[in-house]
Amino acid sequence: MLDLSKQRIVVTGGAGFLGLNVQAELARAGASPDNILVPTIEEYDLTQEAAVVRMYETMKPTVVIHLAAEVGGIGANRENPGRFFYSNMAMGLHLIEHARRVGLAKFVQIGTICAYPKFTPVPFREDDLWNGYPEETNAPYGVAKKALLVMLQAYRQQYGLNGIFLLPVNLYGPGDNFHPASSHVIPALIRKFVEAQERGAGEVEVWGTGSASREFLYVEDCARGIVLATRLYDGDAPMNLGAGFEITIRDLAVKIQHLVGFTGKLVWDTTKPDGQPRRCLDTVRAKDAFGFEARVGFDDGLAKTIDWWRNVGARRG
């Protein structure tokens, strides 16, 4: 077991949606707030090797939890495939290489559900990760992340670097990205329904056919899973972090519509892509390895997220 009270922990992306929750969970698990360190993008462009070297020299971490990513929904992935591949590959490449050079005690890489093949049998098991190519719209992002799993396994074999790889399913919760151009499906739908209700609109347009399914993990649950793995897991096998259920986008839209209280109709733009047909994780491995199970119910998590957007997020613009 890793004693977090004795570690200097760098959390890349620590000022973001997941990162703020990971910081809070680290503190609850015994890490000193003074030893939880966040390299901001203004100070450290982690796609540049010189900045990564300077980060290790200045912050002197013993543990790195690498959350930072350039990512978005289907639209953003379609518009930025090259940028998403380069930036995610470059950040991980430099951080892992210099982790082994400084003798880091532990490196925690956050992967993505987008790394799974397009037609992975449901529920997704970690052993299926290499049985096909990812869904095309997010393949560059997914492949870049999956390459970092190979890098960690190779560095463990050759250099003894203790690097672990976690695969969270789609996240949601208070503080999520609600920007219309780059948000994922839950914040996008919440914003659409709340704004339509406030305008008195008669309908809301939703991308795709609604037939695709997704699994969603509340952000506080994900942060708890990451910290549990940081403390308790030292293996080379990738680990799913999920809630163990799936819901179609159509049913999700109807659920959010009801929770918001929007009484108009849904209009499906079937010219837009659905993305991967189904997503639902097998979560047995993480439960067996470090005792992780999701705790927050989906309706409760959605209600908290809607409440946050109405009372906090929408006021920020």
Catalytic residues: 141
Beta pairing partners, 218: 172
In this structure, what token pair is assigned to residue 49?
A: 């090797």
Give 164's strand partners.
108
Of residues 225, 214, 312, 215, the one with CA closest to residue 18: 225
Q: Output the CA–CA distances (angstroms, integers) from residue 13 to 32, 91, 177, 210, 235, in the order listed.
A: 18, 11, 14, 31, 24
Distance in angstroms (rounded) separating the CA atoms of residues 109 and 64: 8
Cis status, amide bond into 39, omega within 30 of 0 = no
* Three-state SS at 49: helix
C-alpha distances out from residue 289 to 22, 151, 236, 301, Å: 20, 22, 12, 26
CA pair distance 145, 112, nearest whole angstrom: 7
Local structure of 68: helix, strand or coil = coil
Do 1 and 231 form a contact (C-beta atoms < 8 A)?
Answer: yes
How far apart are alpha carbons 306 and 76 in whole angstroms?
23
124 in Cβ contact with 280 (< 8 Å): yes
Compute the distance between CA of residue 240 and CA of residue 112 in angstroms, rounded to an integer.
9
DSSP SS3 for 288: helix
